Structure 1
Amino acid sequence: SVKLRFFAKSKELVGCSEADIALDRDNFATGASLKDQICTLFPCLAQLNGCFVLSVNQEYVHPEDCDISVKSGDELAVIPPISGG
């Protein structure tokens, strides 16, 4: 399993700051498909309209990234846009 951390609005929507999840590693080949899998596991994230980025072990994942390696014990994060004044 991997640890998935939530920040800001994503934390509010999911109702917790982190979750341990199992990912189907055969089901994502790009950053975009990894993002889709996270949204399938947490449908409430649809309220963000795709406006968030993912990180794997504190490295941003771009939607077009093709060689994503996620293994047991890794940390993923959902990072929505930050706003404030």
Structure 2
Amino acid sequence: MHFNIFLTLVASVFTLAEASVLVAERADCSVYGDYPEYTGPCELTNCGAKGTNCDATGWSGCVVYPSFDCPAQGCTCTDY
């Protein structure tokens, strides 16, 4: 039983460490360069500057890019 608790604690520490690294990587928006912030539509049936209907074209969603943590450069359909 003590071994299981130990394994759980070790796994938790590694998970927290990995999450910290990922957050640090995503938060550095400078890697995307300078661009005007996109303020247009970002909805399932009105996605991006072209107003794409993601649902009608077989996609499951519309997301901002380049990153959720940075100012939007645009929106695009996704299955993620």
TM range (shorter): under 0.3
TM-score, normalised relative to structure 1:
0.22
Structure holding more strand per residue: 1
Larger radius of gyration: 2
Query: Larger helix proportion, structure 1 or 2?
Result: 2
TM-score by length of 2: 0.23
